[in-house]
Structure formats: C-alpha cells, structure tokens
Amino acid sequence: MASDEFDIIRRFFNSGEIAFPIPEVGLGIGDDCALLRPATGMQLAMSMDILQEGVHFLPDADPYLLGKRTLLVNLSDLAAMGARPLCFTLGLCLPAADEVWLGSFSKGLAQVAREHNCPLIGGDLSASSPVHGSKTLCVQVHGELPVDSGLRRSGAKVGDLIYVTGSLGDAAAGLQVLSNTCKESLNEEHRAALVDAFFVPESRIEAGLMLRSLATSCIDLSDGLASDLVHILRASAVGASIALDALPLSVAVRAAHNEAEQRQLAISGGDDYELCFTVGSKNEEAMQRALGSIGVPVTRIGIITEGTQVQWCEFGEPIALEASGYKHFHAASEDLVQVTH
C-alpha cells in the first residue's frame, strides 16, 4: 500500500479530469460537505447504486470499464426520471490501494463524468473488512428537473402503449461471455458487442429528457423486463399485454442463443439499463419523432390493460409463461453469485 487515504483522493479523484467545476456546485471535494446551488424552479433528483464484487461484477473485471459502468448505471436512474445529471459522490471500500486499478477505474469514471458534464464532488474511502476483502463501489448521483415534472412509475393508463429503447438481453448475454458460459462458436465481434453492452450501457439521458413531456410512466431496466415492468403496473394499478415476438433483439444476441434462450434473456436477464415507458396514443408519433431525432431506437412491445397482471402473447395469442427478474435475498437466488442489480 503505497498511498494513504488522502493520497488516493488527491491523486485519483480530486483532479480536474473528474472533479471539474460546474456553476451548480458551489464547493466540491475537500470540506466536510459539498455545497450545491440548485437553480430556482428546479428540484434535485438523487439516486444511489451499489456495485459489489462477486454480486454485480466479476473479481477480474476490467477496472476502466467498471469505472464507466459504475457511473452509467446511476445515470440510468436519472434518465428514467427525466432528470439532467448534475454531479455525483463516490463511496469505495477496497481491500488494497492498488494504484493500477485505481488509475484505470478513475479514468473510466472521468470519461463518463466528462461526457455528461457531471463532476465528482465528494465521497468516502475505506479499507474493506478483512473478513471478506472484496470491493464495494457506491455512487450517489444528483440530477435536476423542473419542479412538478418527472417521469414517475405511476402514470400508466389503460390503452397506453408500452415501449422500450434499444435491445434487450445483451448485457446478460455479455455476462455469459465474461464467465465463459456462452457458446464456443460465437465470433469475436459478437462477443465484444455483448461484453460492451454489459460494461457500457447506452446512456438514455437525452431520451429521458425528451420523454419527460411525452411519456406517462417510465422505468429503467436493471433487473429484467419481467420484473421491472411489474413496478410500473403496481404503481399505476394496471395490467399489461406484451408481445414476445416484438421484443427487440440484437444481432449479437441472436447469434449467441437459440430462440427460447433469446426470449429468456430479453425478459429475465438484467443489466440492460434501457428505458421501458408508456405513452398515450395521442403522443405516440411525437415520441417516435423525438427519439428518432436523437438516434435512439424504440420498439413498441405491448399495451396497458385493465387488471394487475402481465399477459404474455405470441403472434397475438396469449401464452402461459413463468417469468421473473433478479431479486436480491430471494430464496431461489441466494446461492447465486450473479451479476445483476
């Protein structure tokens, strides 16, 4: 351990690369608190995500990509709320002051921070418990949006159309590539695309900002469609009919898996960080134009119905399906070391 806590903060985190100034941050790293200056008429949006080694990422994960992912998964929650990123704080529990790891991790974080003009403003650093000795990475992200706005989970209405951005199942398939459980014949290009989807989910911030005035509800897909859609349904007291044949699948997922597996990944695989949202039919065209104008692909996958359940359909016919996403502390998943949120 060449560096102590304060050397690490100074060298890897309190740098112009990652802790750059923005007008809304009155005071950044260095005092007991950072000070924010929210603009008049705006409200703050805050969200936190923990990434735990052995649960959310594999022990040998590339630290640069992990740095990117740590911030991107947090930004995804802001996107789902229709908030613009402002800044973030970072909590780290590390078993050792590995400077190579810290250098790459902070570079990955800085890259995404710069891309979103979202600087690091503070945090905490601790040695991991010697009992477990694994890494825990925690980000709290702060965003802003006008008072009385925000894309809630609770606004879906019967007859609204259900859409997702991007494609589904790529990140879960990427995890299989990383853990060497994908099919051997899968070519390098497809492997790379899937791993990339896992580590560097597409930012949907711009899409979220546009959806703020067009969608009736929204959630980001962290645990898988089957699980996350239910959050919208519960919050909105509605049901849904989903067309399995309409789920968007990438070329790489199609190359990596047979049809049944593709479908399983698309509905139950986590970590895609795409947006799932509902839109009234009167705003459907405007939404397609808006997201088309920023190059974000969207696919209509179903419709909001009366009731409380999801009806899965194939080519217009209802089918029975046991589908669920990942749940921490769920009995059946207790033994799994699975990368998910």
Which residues contribute to the site for Mg ion (CB under 5 A)? Answer: 32
Pairwise CA distance, residues 158 & 235, whole Å = 13
- Stretch touching ligand ADP by CB under 6 A, among 30-38, 128-136, 170-178, 289-297: 30-38
Total residues in contact with ligand ADP, by rule CB under 6 A: 13
Environment class of 17 (CB within 10 Å of its CB; exposed 0-12, middle 13-18, buried 19+): middle
Residue closer to ligand ADP, measured from CB, 19 or 226: 19
Residue 123's binding partner among Mg ion, ligand ADP, none (Cβ under 5 to 8 angstroms by kind) is ligand ADP
- Stretch touching ligand ADP by CB under 6 A, among 119-127, 258-266, 278-286, 323-331: 119-127
* CA-to-CA separations, 233 to 78, 82, 85, 230, 326, in angstroms, rounded: 20, 19, 27, 5, 17
- Chain centroid to CA 297: how far? 17
Name the strand (E) or helix (H) holding 232.
helix 225-236
Round the CA-based radius of gyration of the chain to a whole number and report it: 20
- Stretch touching ligand ADP by CB under 6 A, among 27-35, 168-176, 208-216, 255-263: 27-35
- Stretch touching ligand ADP by CB under 6 A, among 51-59, 120-128, 244-252, 266-274: 120-128
Min dist. Cβ of residue 5 to Mg ion (A): 13
**219 - beta bridge partners?**
276
Min dist. Cβ of residue 97 to ligand ADP (A): 12
Instruction: Among 73, 87, 94, 120, indicate the residue that binds ligand ADP (CB under 6 A).
Output: 120
* CA-to-CA separations, 288 to 215, 294, 324, in angstroms, rounded: 11, 10, 29
Task: Check residue 13 for interaction with ligand ADP (CB under 6 A).
Answer: yes
Min dist. Cβ of residue 31 to Mg ion (A): 8
Min dist. Cβ of residue 93 to Mg ion (A): 18
Q: What is the DSSP string of 149-198?
A: ----SS---TT-EEEEES-SSHHHHHHHHHTT-S-TT--HHHHHHHHHHH
Task: Check residue 66 for interaction with ligand ADP (CB under 6 A).
Answer: no
Structure-token pair, residue 307? 């009731």
- Stretch touching ligand ADP by CB under 6 A, among 117-125, 155-163, 229-237, 272-280: 117-125
**Residue whose C-alpha is closest to residue 253's, from 264, 238, 240, 243:** 264
Residue 30's binding partner among ligand ADP, Mg ion, none (Cβ under 5 to 8 angstroms by kind) is ligand ADP
Task: Check residue 67 for interaction with ligand ADP (CB under 6 A).
Answer: no
In this structure, how many other beta carbons lie within 10 angstroms of the beta carbon of residue 134? Answer: 15
Task: Check residue 60 for interaction with ligand ADP (CB under 6 A).
Answer: no
Q: Which residues contact 304 (CB under 8 A, 6 or more apart)?
A: 156, 157, 158, 159, 160, 161, 162, 236, 238, 239, 240, 278
Residue 90's binding partner among ligand ADP, Mg ion, none (Cβ under 5 to 8 angstroms by kind) is ligand ADP
Residues contributing to the site for ligand ADP (CB under 6 A): 9, 13, 29-32, 90, 92, 120, 122-125
